Structure 1
Amino acid sequence: MIRFENVSKTYHIRKFEKRVYNNLNFTIQRGESIGICGANGAGKSTLMRLIGGVEQPSTGTITRTMNTSWPIGFGSCFQGSLTGADNARFIARIYNQPEDELLDFVEDFAQLGPYLHQPVQTYSAGMGARLAFGVSLAINFECYLVDEVTGAGDERFRARSEEALLHRRDHASIIMISHDPGSLKQYCKRGAVVYGGSVVFFDTIEEASEVHSRLQRRSF
């Protein structure tokens, strides 16, 4: 379970203040798969970082009773001066996983070849996403956070990613951000719309996508 209680998030940049969320209250139950819709800049990635614990709320409380991945595709989860392999070993130690087994999985899944042993700061965005995806799937999380990463890589890698995510969906929660309603419908049952500092949940992806589309049309 992940519970937000009176959660607000505000960024202070010099003399500028931006409030992204105000007084969020919701609960995500174990085993739920939720697709999140929202315009660019609405706060989708901020929400994912809050859910994953990468960022803390300005006010309010976030309670987690299931272990949660970092947002897949979030490049800041790696140390750029270390190699992909060294990052994978470090994460294995953090999560008390066998280092060699985790590294073998990442090497096979991400298919980075010799780049796995090069500094992450030399990676392209797609390579970083593949590494993040591979390391995340090497650990049996109870909740996976996915941020527009299934499009990374060639067709073969995308197919493997889709298959792996569908398998994880049957055994864990998935919270996904995507601008593609088809992707959200493929992986998720419930939907949510981020708009105006709030998060509204719906029973289906179709409902959430329809509401998001109406809000987008109103913005023009």
Structure 2
Amino acid sequence: MIRIENLTKSYPSQIGPQYIFKNLNFEFPTENNVAILGKNGAGKSTLFRMLAKSEYPDNGRVITNKSMSWPVALQTGVHPQMTYRENTRFVGRINNVRSLSEYENKVQEFAELGERFDLPVRTYSSGMRAKLVFACCMNIDFDIYLIDEATSVGDPLFRKKARVSLKEKSEQAGVIMVSHELDQIREFCTSAVVINDGELTYYSDLEEGIDVYMHDANQKKTKK
């Protein structure tokens, strides 16, 4: 269960607060893998970050009894002065991983960085940092994985590996995904939540949700 209660979220601007959501109430289904769809500016990323608790509402709350990953594509929580190994152990501790040494070995093998595992993260490329975050996340068993353009991580071989790993997770646990790639949405999701004018509508049929989303997007283009 993921329940949104009386949630309001706005951002300041020169002409006053710009409301993304106002007194929103909604219950996210967790029995299906869900895509969050909506035109640009609808609030997809904002909602996603609030589900992850990496951003907070002005008022209201998100309630859940599920363990959720951080947004997989975001390189949050990585300390640049610490080594890959030190970061891995830190992530393991805050997520209550039982065997840190086993977890460390799994992450090291998955990320395929060899001896560079003991170098400071500040010496890594953005792709290597993304591998760190992805490998750390995929080796923890969460109830729900928050996926944000995650299969764009790393080189082509690693991206293939990432897709396989995500597919396995999507069959064992819940997935909530934000992506502009409909092929990726169709690969990992079975249902959709469409955001329109600050309201959320759930579609148990993914293709129905995509049709509504595409219709809304085409209407916006026509008005322009």
TM-score w.r.t. the length of structure 2 is 0.88
Query: Cα distance 1:109–1:213, how it changes in 2: closer, same or farther (>3 A)?
Result: same
The CA distance in 2 between the partners of 1:186 and 1:159, in whole Å, is 13
- Tell me which residue corresponds to 2:42: 42
Retained in 2: the 8 A contact 1:35–1:192? yes
Q: Which residue of 2 aligns with 1:71?
A: 71
- CA RMSD between the two structures: 2.1
Q: Distance in 1 between matches of 2:215 and 2:122?
A: 40
Following superposition, the deviation at residue 178 of structure 1 comes to: 0.9
Q: Does the 8 A contact of 1:70 with 1:77 survive in 2?
A: no
Which deviations, in whole Å up to 9, do the C-alpha atoms of 1:81-131 show, x marking residues without a partner? 323222211111112212221221111112234443333344443333221
Deviations for 1:110-169, whole angstroms, at most 9, x for unmatched residues?
223444333334444333322111111111101100000112222321222122112112
Corresponding residue number in structure 1 for 2:148: 147
Q: 1:153 to 1:64 in 2, by over 3 A?
A: same
Alpha-carbon contact 1:82-1:120 (below 8 Å) kept: yes
Name the counterpart of 2:85.
Answer: 85
Listed one character per residue, the Cα deviations across residues 61-98 of structure 1 (whole Å, up to 9, x for unaligned) are 21110111111111223223323222211111112212
Secondary structure of the 1:170 match is helix
Q: Which runs of 5+ in 1 are unaligned?
A: none
Residue equivalent to 1:193: 194
- The AA in structure 2 aligned to 1:18 is Q
1:102 aligns with 2:103: yes
Rounded to whole Å, the distance in 2 between the matches of 1:31 and 1:77 is 29
CA contact (8 A) 1:110 1:134 kept: yes
Q: Could you tell me whether the CA contact under 8 Å between 2:147 and 2:177 is conserved in 1?
A: yes
Report the CA distance between 1:15 and its aligned residue: 7.4
Distance 1:71 1:181 in 2: 19
| Contact 1:5/1:61, CA 8 A, preserved across alignment | yes
1:219 aligns with 2:190: no
Give the 3-state SS of the residue equivalent to 2:82 in structure 1. coil
Structure 2: distance between partners of 1:15 and 1:92: 44
Structure 2: runs of 5+ lacking an equivalent: none
Paired-residue identity, %? 34
Return structure 1 stretches of 4+ with deviation > 4 angstroms: 13-16
**C-alpha distance 14-96 of structure 1, shift in aligned 2 (>3 A):** farther
Q: Are 2:21 and 1:18 aligned?
A: no
Q: Distance in 2 between matches of 1:20 and 1:126?
A: 32
CA shift for structure 1 position 13: 6.0
Check conservation: 1:30, 1:66, Cα contact below 8 A: no
Q: Is the partner of 2:12 in helix, strand or coil? A: strand
State the one-letter code of the partner of 1:54.
Answer: S
Q: Which amino acid aligns with 1:53?
A: K
> What does 1:96-135 correspond to in 2, within 5 Å?
96-97=96-97, 98-135=99-136
Query: Which structure has the greater CA radius of gyration?
Result: 2
CA distance in 1, matches of 2:78, 2:27: 29
CA distance in 2, matches of 1:170, 1:72: 17
> How far off its partner does 1:200 sit?
2.1
